Copies of this chain bind each other. A is one copy, B any other.
Amino acid sequence: MSVKIGDFVDIAADGSNYKGRIMPNSSKDVIFLKLESGYNVGINRNSIKSIKLAKEVKKNNIKTKKTAVEQKKGLPKIAILHTGGTLASKVDYETGGVISRFKPEELLDLFPEIREIANIKSVFISNMFSEEMRFENYAKIAKAVLKEINSGVKGIIIGHGTDTMHYTAAALSFMFEHLNVPILIVGAQRSSDRGSSDAAMNLVGAIEFINKTEFHQVAICMHESESDDNCIILPAVKTRKMHTSRRDAFKPINDNAIARVNYKTRTVEILKKIEKEKPKKNVLKIKFEEKVGILKTYPNINANIIKCYKGYKGLIIEGTGMGHMPISQGENKKIFNELKKLVKSGCIVVMTSQCIFGSVNMNVYSPGRNLLDIGIISGEDMLTETAYIKLAWLLGNYKKDIVKELIKKDIRGEIKERILPDEYLSKYDFNKGTD
């Protein structure tokens, strides 16, 4: 039978049955199906026994009428700022892919339980995939946050794509030099119209945390594990997306989680001391220097790559191990010369590590000391992502001498003097036995 793109079909092939929507696909030999689970599968046409049109997946029929937001007495007021991402997206049944196209009100209609625990003000900022975020977007978000804070909310939730959520979390941490309300960044790894979506639970976790604590910093709220039991509240400047697709993709690095929120009991378990002292005034500095970059090093790197950063004001080098890169032997000497030129030109160069966990320590080996000697600064135990955002922010707001001081100093919890043993993958084990 003849089927076309967009048809919902049932295919028998290779002894299996696949039910899903036919997606656009450049190959003539393969049919690409978006399965009901949200995953894609390619099926070789030669292996197909039968294709039949199947029953349509019922499209989500969300009411888009603008409901006047009902204010319930006694409930805290929380603003949800929508920037886009999977939290605010649904499956596009034309192409089978996921697109960003929820309206904020639709999200509240999807999760009515949220209205039971807070008076929500829903604010639309943008509808973008988080990988598209630029510094100008950070500034826009920060200004919108300040506006809501000034209107007297108990806390702010930012719906955000997960790809660069940790970069934005760090940006907000630095932009608000003083902050007297909590800002929780929330995302989802499965779109909100899917049964397996983590969106509702992550939103509820953030709201309960705001309601039940006196936290006034920036944090991330996501699933702690693959199960729908706990949300975990993570430090904005010490967290990283560590998995492409799992709901528990976000993990603290060289640090511990701040709190755990149980979805059933709604209890908030504090895992890390929460600062009680609350600044009186929110101070916002939104400038970022554009000429800042990240360079991950690798064996056999060509010295010309360093030249690309000519004219840059700041550069994070994600080196190897305790903060090294090729500089001493043969061709690598050219790299050292280019680095010297770059630092001499006024660029602030900071070393972090591609190991992710642990701290840079450039004093242990002589090549590290050679890098320090030419003026490269140790990024200590800062994440590359945090160091990048911090350096661009410092250069946007302070003079060079101050930047050089502050980049090495802990100003938002991004540098820790001592990493504890359980702040690593120490629980990772291999007790699986033979296949």
Main secondary structure of the interface of A (DSSP, over half): loop
Q: Across the interface, name the chain B residue whose C-beta is closest to A126.
A: B329
Contact assessment for A329 and B244 in the assembled complex, using a CB-CB cutoff below 8 Å = no
CB-defined contacts of A300 to chain B, threshold 8 Å:
133-135, 288, 290, 292, 392
Chain B binder among A44-52, A112-120, A268-276: A268-276
Question: Is there an interface contact between A162 and B243, defined as CB atoms closer than 8 Å?
Answer: no
Contacts of A242 in B (CB 8 A): 355-357, 425
* A39, B392: Cα distance in complex, Å: 31
- A89-112: contact bitstring with B at CB < 8 Å (1 yes, 0 no)? 000100101110000000000000
Chain A residues with a Cβ closer than 8 Å to the other chain, count:
113
Nearest B-chain residue to A26, judged by Cβ: B373
List A10-38 residues whose CB lies under 8 Å from chain B. Answer: 23, 26, 32, 38
A95 to B369, CA, bound (A): 11
- Contact digits for A325-351, partner B, Cβ 8 Å, 1 yes 0 no: 111111110000000000000000000
Partner of A290, one of B40, B302, B326: B302
List of B residues within 8 angstroms of A163 by Cβ:
320-321, 324
B-contact 0/1 string along A280-321, CB 8 Å cutoff: 000000001011111111111110110010000000001111
Option from B130, B299, B424 in Cβ contact (under 8 Å) with A131: B299
Determine whether the beta carbon of B298 is less than 8 Å from that of A385: yes
Nearest Cβ in chain B — how far from A200, in angstroms? 20
Q: Does A148 make an interface contact (CB < 8 A)?
A: no
Decide if A241 is an interface residue (CB 8 Å cutoff): yes
Which residues of the partner chain B approach A356 to less than 8 Å between Cβ atoms?
242-243, 356
Q: Which one of A64-72, A172-180, A427-435 contacts B?
A: A427-435
This chain's copy number in the assembly: 2
A402 to chain B, nearest CB (A): 18
Decide if A428 touches B430 in the complex (CB within 8 Å): no
When A251-B425, A308-B305, A425-B428 are in contact, do A245 and B40 touch as well, CB less than 8 Å?
Answer: no
Shortest CB-to-CB span from A367 to chain B, Å, is 6
Rounded to whole Å, the gap between the CB of A222 and the closest CB of chain B is: 13
Closest chain B residue, CB of each to CB of A225: B426
Cβ of A205 to closest chain B Cβ, rounded Å:
14
Contact of A355 among B129, B243, B290 (CB under 8 A): B243
Contact indicator A131/B40 (Cβ below 8 Å): no
Give chain B residues whose Cβ lies under 8 Å from the Cβ of A155.
Answer: none
**A242 to B356, alpha carbons, bound, how many Å?**
6
The CA of A399 and the CA of B157, in the complex, are separated in Å by 52
Q: Is A361 an interface residue (CB 8 A)?
A: yes
B435 x A245 contact (CB < 8 A): no
Q: Indicate whether A330 sits within 8 Å of B134 (C-beta atoms), given known contacts A369-B97, A428-B425.
A: yes
Are B364 and A273 within 8 A (Cβ)? no
Q: Which residues on the B side are within 8 Å of A241 (C-beta)?
A: 320-321, 354-355
Residue A246 at the chain B interface, CB threshold 8 Å? yes
CB distance from A111 to the nearest CB of B (A): 22
Given A129-B324, A332-B134: A426 in contact with B244 (beta carbons within 8 A): no
* Complex alpha-carbon distance, A98 and B364, angstroms: 6
- Answer yes or no: A353 CB below 8 A from chain B CBs: yes
Residues of B within 8 A of A161 (CB): 321
Chain B residues whose CB sits within 8 angstroms of the CB of A251 once the complex forms: 425, 428
Assembled-state Cα–Cα distance A200/B211 (Å) = 54
Given A293-B302, A426-B226, does the pair A326, B132 have CB atoms closer than 8 Å?
Answer: yes
Which residues from chain B contact A320 at a C-beta distance below 8 Å?
Answer: 130-131, 163-164, 241
A365 to B298 Cα, complex, angstroms: 29
Binding site for B on A (CB under 8 A): 23, 26, 32, 38-40, 92, 95, 97-99, 128-136, 161-164, 167-168, 224-226, 232, 241-246, 248-249, 251-252, 256-257, 260, 270-273, 288, 290-302, 304-305, 308, 318-332, 353-361, 363-367, 369, 373, 384-385, 388, 392, 420-422, 424-430, 432-435
